[in-house]
Amino acid sequence: RKEVEQDPGPFNVPEGATVAFNCTYSNSASQSFFWYRQDCRKEPKLLMSVYSSGNEDGRFTAQLNRASQYISLLIRDSKLSDSATYLCVVNGGGSYIPTFGRGTSLIVHP
Amino acid sequence: DAGVTQSPTHLIKTRGQQVTLRCSPKSGHDTVSWYQQALGQGPQFIFQYYEEEERQRGNFPDRFSGHQFPNYSSELNVNALLLGDSALYLCASSFSGTGGSGEQFFGPGTRLTVL
């Protein structure tokens, strides 16, 4: 089993839709979690951290489920500009090595 | 405030050659990590430098080596290049005060092509 797994997609949704991605991780000792966004042929950029209590930033909501070992990202009212690859990152568990998932591709169409 | 910078942006080499990639971290950051990203995959951790020493290393052969300078900038060296080394090489910087929490800022990357 891979340390961090994501459905590569693509998720193809119309503008205005709500879409959710999950990311599972295998190391139960993991301590910090993040979502990054990566546009085609660009570098990853931090979208948001994921806290135990969950967090929301505008149209984006991230949640952590430690019992089932997954994090989620919910995007409401999708915009064309949300089209990108969303990478989850899991860190900790005794090392400084952040582990990236392979990313989930989102395509928002008119 | 300059972000993370990397050079060169693109590089073409042939098998067996050696390459050096360079990275300057974001102002105020003291930790530099290097990643390899193949097409369609997430970034794979190569190693991390802090206080001029390699602090952690991912599952990469000894052909991959690095260095961090007193001004926190870093180099990634790859010897005896293989075709499979063709990838986007990303540098990410962070501040040690976050306790290695993983909140990193990435440079634009160096796209390496090995022929």
Residue A42 C-alpha, separation from nearest chain B C-alpha, in angstroms: 6
- Statement: residue B99 has pLDDT above 70: no
- State the Rg of chain A over Cα: 13
Task: Select from B35, B43, B101 the Cβ nearest to the Cβ of A91.
Answer: B101
- Statement: residue B1 has pLDDT above 90: no
Q: Does A89 touch chain B (CB under 8 A)?
A: yes
Structure-token pair, residue B60: 């990469």
Torsion angles phi and psi, residue B85, rounded to 5: -80, -5
Q: Which chain A positions have a beta carbon within 8 Å of B58's beta carbon? A: 97
- Statement: residue B95 has pLDDT above 90: no
Q: What is the pLDDT along chain A (110 residues), one digit of tens a residue?
A: 678 999 999 999 999 999 999 999 998 888 889 999 999 989 999 999 998 888 999 999 999 999 999 999 999 999 999 999 999 999 876 666 789 999 999 999 99
Q: Does A95 touch chain B (CB under 8 A)?
A: yes
User: A with B: how many residue pairs have Cβ under 8 Å apart?
Assistant: 57
- Pick the more confident residue, B10 or B99: B10
The confidence score (pLDDT) of residue B101 equals 56
In percent, the amount of chain B with pLDDT more than 90 equals: 86
Work out the mean pLDDT of chain B and round it to a whole number.
Answer: 93
Contacts of range A11-15, beta carbons closer than 8 Å, 24 or more positions apart: A11/A104, A11/A105, A11/A106, A11/A107, A12/A107, A12/A109, A13/A78, A13/A106, A13/A107, A13/A108, A13/A109, A14/A78, A14/A108, A14/A109, A14/A110, A15/A78, A15/A79, A15/A80, A15/A108, A15/A109, A15/A110
The confidence score (pLDDT) of residue B78 equals 98
Task: Select from B40, B43, B102 the Cβ nearest to the Cβ of A34.
Answer: B102
Paired strand residues for B45: B35
Count helices and strands (H / E) in chain A.
0, 11
Q: Give B17-60 pLDDT, tens digit per residue.
A: 999 999 999 999 999 999 999 998 999 999 999 999 998 899 99
Task: Select from A46, A97, A101 the Cβ nearest to the Cβ of B42.
Answer: A101
Torsion angles phi and psi, residue B77, rounded to 5: -115, 135
